[in-house]
Structure 1
Amino acid sequence: MTVPAESIFFDLWSASYDRAGLQEATNRPVHDAVLERLGDARPRSVLDLGCGTGQLCERLRALDADSRIVGVDLSDGALLHASGRSGGDDATPGDDVAAGAGAGPRPIEFVRADAQDLPFDDGAFDLVICTQSFHLYADQVGAVAQVHALLAPGGRFMIASVATVTGFGDDAIRRATALAGRPVKAIPKRRLRTLLDDGGFDVEHQGRIPRLGLVPWPVLTDATRRGSRARPAVSSAARGTRPRRR
């Protein structure tokens, strides 16, 4: 697999990503909100899309040691840290990494892959979680289509992503971050709701996650996949495009 140049940033960042102060200020509140929303549900197969160093994967495994937990990321560095955290053997970049061995909790699987090109069978998961990465996807519509295919009918898709309050704010962030070479698409929650609805999901909940920082608070969106196997057509509104003026 060819590694995009921007993934090098996350390879370098992964070395300090697990610092306690950083986790408490940024990721911990998001993971807490996801697990609180999950409640007593115990899905048998879970995909953590953009898993980073595996913090949330570990917490999911602690809830049910027999569930299949799969973490996907594009960063070799993050996956190496994730495998080490979970007690796995040294990871081979680009390959699937099974963390842990022998008796005890079911091993966490770590896989290097792109969110728009996921190497799993259709209907393989009951729950897909995406925290802190959806706003970085260049093709958010394509990512939603991928998740729709991977979820069994009735499966859940939980997204916790940076989201602006208005479309104007989203446009401003895109322009500013594009100058650094990596546009951030912090779409407002109503636009995300439209994207998911057009992508074959029913949105059950949306709410802000309070945390420290100057960027807009993340929005937690909990959606359920509809029963049809067909991938629905996606409107221009969901794609974030505007109709042409005549």
Structure 2
Amino acid sequence: MTSPATHWVKESPFGIWFLNTDMWQQRVLKRALDELDSLLPADRPGYAAILDIGCGRGHAFRMLDQRFHPAGICAIEIDEALIGDAVRQAEHCSSPVTVTVGNAEALPYPDQAFDMVFCHQSFHHIVQHEKAIAEFYRVLKPGGTLLFAESCRKFIHSFLIRLLFRHPMHVQKTSDEYIALIRQAGFKVDRNAISTPYLWWSRPDVGALEWFGFGVPENREETLLNLVAVKGL
């Protein structure tokens, strides 16, 4: 298999290792999915077909499977070196999972194919944001849901992240810019479906100031964004 031709930034060796740790799975992935789940409406519809964007090693598969009980999950990952691990993770799901090497800027799926698109910590590796978000919109059914969890510019540009990880720095966005991008693509994003958690690991001081008794700043540039967006009927 050959990775699709596109603009993207491959994660650093440290980053690839970290994305396989329990800390990533529990404190980053599960934490974000818990919050996204809480932002969904109480009368939410069923999600029979789910697409996982940038699935990596497939750690989200069982979480999506157990929470939403879909009829099937499709997953796309541009780094073909991770596909084998993702396929093995898929074997632990009750729902069938199909893993594909592909590009979020040109998704290999038909229009209106999915009830949910899940994009967790993948968007900041993409260079052509407008193309990717337009593709998310295209493949969702009318009334379909986008679960979007992302690190924002302040976090990606921080010293430790620049040292240990690799990203396309010139396209990183603030939380407000991400929200505007998603709305401009046609999605509806209610204010009560947006969260900007200021978790200790996302702060420039890695939570040290709060540990020493200083309060969390109220006027700040947000480091993380979780939101639920809906495609219009």
Question: Given the alignment, which residue of 175, 179, 182 partners 2:168?
Answer: 182
Instruction: Give the structure 2 partner of residue 219 of structure 1.
Output: 225
| Structure 1 counterpart of 2:50, from 29, 46, 52 | 46
Cα deviation per residue 1:168-209 (whole Å; 9 max; x = unaligned)? x59967xx96xx773263322222222222211111221113
2:73 is aligned, of 69, 79, 88, to 69
Displacement of 1:68 in angstroms is 1.4
Q: Which runs of 5+ in 1 are unaligned?
A: 88-98, 228-246
Please list, as runs of the form range in 1=range in 2, the aligned pairs for 1:89-108 lying within 5 A after superposition. Answer: 105-108=94-97
Specify the SS of the correspondent of 1:156: strand
Say which of 153, 172, 180 aligns to 1:194: 180
More helix per residue: 2
Aligned residue runs from structure 1 range 25-174, under 5 A: 25-38=27-40, 41=44, 42-87=46-91, 105-164=94-153, 169=154
More displaced, 151-160 or 213-222? Answer: 213-222
Relative to the length of structure 2, the TM-score reads 0.74
- Percent of pairs identical after alignment? 19
Alignment partner of 2:106: what SS?
coil
- Cα distance in structure 2, aligned partners of 1:77 and 1:146: 24
* CA apart distance, 1:83: 1.2
Once the 2 structures are TM-superposed, how far is the Cα of residue 156 of structure 1 from its aligned partner?
A: 1.1
Structure-2 separation of matches of 1:121 and 1:3:
18
CA contact under 8 A between 2:49 and 2:72: conserved in structure 1?
A: yes
RMSD of Structure 2 on Structure 1 (CA): 3.1
Q: 1:35 to 1:80 in 2, by over 3 A?
A: farther
Query: Quick one: which amino acid aligns to residue 112 of structure 2?
Result: G
Q: What is the CA–CA distance in structure 2 between the aligned matches of 1:25 and 1:181, rounded to whole Å?
A: 21
Task: Count residues in correspondence.
Answer: 204
The one-letter code of the counterpart of 2:229 is A
> 1:93 aligns to what?
none
Tell me which residue corresponds to 2:211.
Answer: none
> Is the Cα contact below 8 Å between 1:54 and 1:85 reproduced in 2?
yes
| 1:72 aligned counterpart, secondary structure | strand
Q: In the TM superposition, what whole-angstrom CA distance separates every residue of 1:26-73 from its partner, at most 9, and x where no partner exists? A: 323112222333466431111111112212221111234452111111
Distance in structure 2 (CA, Å) of the matches to 1:12 and 1:171: 15
* Whole-angstrom distance in 1 between the partners of 2:186 and 2:75: 23
Structure number with greater CO (CA < 8 Å, separation at least 6) is 2
Query: Contact 1:29/1:211 (CA < 8 Å) preserved in 2?
Result: no
Give the corresponding residue for 1:207.
195
Distance 1:195 1:9, change over 3 A: closer
